[in-house]
Structure 1
Amino acid sequence: MSEIHDRPGERGPRPPEPPEAKAAAVADGIVPGFGIDTIHEAARRLSGHVVRTPLLTSPMLDELVGARVLVKAECLQLTGSFKVRGALNALLTLDEEARRAGIVAYSAGNHGQGVAAAARLAGCPAVIVMPHDAPRIKVDNCRWWGAETVLYDPRTEDREEVARKILQDRGMTLIPPFDDVRVMAGQGTVGLEVAEQARGLGLPPDAVLVNCSGGGLASGVITALDHAFPGMTHHIVEPAGFDKMARSLATGRVCANPHPPGGLMDAISGPVAGARPLAVLRHHDVTGLTVTDEEVLAAMGTAHRLLKIVVEPGAAASLAALLSGKVDVRGRTVALVASGGNVDPAVYRRALAD
């Protein structure tokens, strides 16, 4: 996959890294250009552009799980998802020439909307490559933010090839969904805010659960929180049967999910784990948990009743792990991220009916 360069001011696609380079990065647990300093730099870039979302608490939820629970409501972020943070941070590192040429992303959902919003905030063109059968609301939302949408047939076309042609023809820059240090740092600003807000409440967390697909959010949040609260335990949560990152953590190799993705948690059922996020997560000794569609539906209903927020299935995975007892947090303070709220109405009706 083509990616943008890791150093600010550089532009354009670069050749894919050879597999042995990624394997070496994973083996060493080192990701050049990523760390707590780059997360703080991202926070400065994003200040005034993204929503500082609330950190919610509920005595009823605390009693239900026997712990103090801190829920970061990124479902209230611009576009209804954390994704705009990483997209905008990556975009703002580009030089003026690259911004004028514009950016490209491929996504059927939250990443596309995040990139479209970031482009509008930065005043640059954007093209979002989407499957022709993507939900109409997601296509319309990308267009509302001012992005051009290019639709492709996933049965006969490869989205990376479609994007690569646009990059070559128009001289635009790709914004990857997760395997990029600037995207990871932007997502890490979620963790910085959680740390500041938790201290303000006098509730330093000693455990964190993060929904995980490619690992951009998890690697950023866990890096920020581990720096603020050394010694805390870290967990990622994935759909049962689609736990590519947990398998990657166990083997030290980038693993893929079965195709096509299954179940309700499409937002965290992506095809492959990110090599850079994997290296970071292995460095922090992260453990993997899985949840089922039924457990996620129950968690969505609980979020509505006790926290008064709308959470999409993939974004409810960490809460589902907590409610279903996948990890023992009794007597502890645990933080989690409600990472998005872009849910199909029919699915949400199911969640509220259960």
Structure 2
Amino acid sequence: MRRVFLTLAVLAGFGFAGAVAVVGLGLYNVSAQVGHWPGVSWVLHTTFRNSVALRAPSMEDAPDLSDPDLIALGASHYATACTPCHAAPGEQRSATMQAMVPAPPHIDEAVAHWKPNEMHWIVENGIKMSGMPAWPAKERDDEVWSVVAYLAAVKVENAPTLPDVTGDTKSYCTACHERMGGRVPRLDILEPDYIAEKLREYRDGTRPSGIMAQAASLVPTGEMAALTTGFSGRATDRDVADVDPVLLGRGEELARRGTRDIPTCLACHGGDAANRRGPAIAGQPEAFLKVQMELWHDGIYDADPLMHAAARELTEEDIEALAAYFSRLQP
């Protein structure tokens, strides 16, 4: 038994000495030109696949990934944030990206062997020891699903053409805010000062959004003021015939209800600009309003304690009713 312990101690000493030589003396060559030692790439990739499979979220909470607006939103973000590494469908990666170790896979290869929930985990969390970053805003998995929707469409060769993001900044903004519905707000019914304030908050991270943080980071400081005006509207569905009148009635009742400590929704978000405490929300897309109320309800948005207090008591049914009601009001 003593010999066994002695042998283990000697092996441990050799292991420690080897670690000192590799780490302390810099003997391990970290050059990307020579790659990994044989077998290391296989170990890392196998660990990667198994780690993702273990931690991927359930698909039960996933939105409809075939929603054209969701796919379009993901495509717009992918065009600016992801193409530098993974390229666009049908295009090649740059020589610089191909020289990375590990090299970021081309988008066609990246989506080929992953399920939607696994792609969600990768996009949200990023990958250690690679160039894959985590999503810029924590707890915004709702935004991550838009990118996954686009990637899923690429996988089945049904993805829309990526928007051209090489033009002026205003054109980039209108690609989402004037052409999409769903989770993208209309800007033409918001006051310029409010838009400017939100852009600053997205840029400095006080209002969490991975999509808008990326978009705001691309705006030159001198152009920020020019982006707050001149947006046109888009057609939105305000036909109450396709909505349960009881649901709309419930939404109106909630919008007019307040307490001694919390004013009504209409007190802050209705009426003219001079009398509003918050932004105008009448006529905004229903899906957008639902997401925003859920973010306030869950405390992901927390900059306004009064708004959080008003939203945290809402049930899922309350949020659905309020979103249906306000989306069908004339702005």
TM-score between the two structures when normalised by the length of structure 2: 0.24
More helix, by proportion: 2
Structure 1 or 2, whichever has the larger Rg, is 2
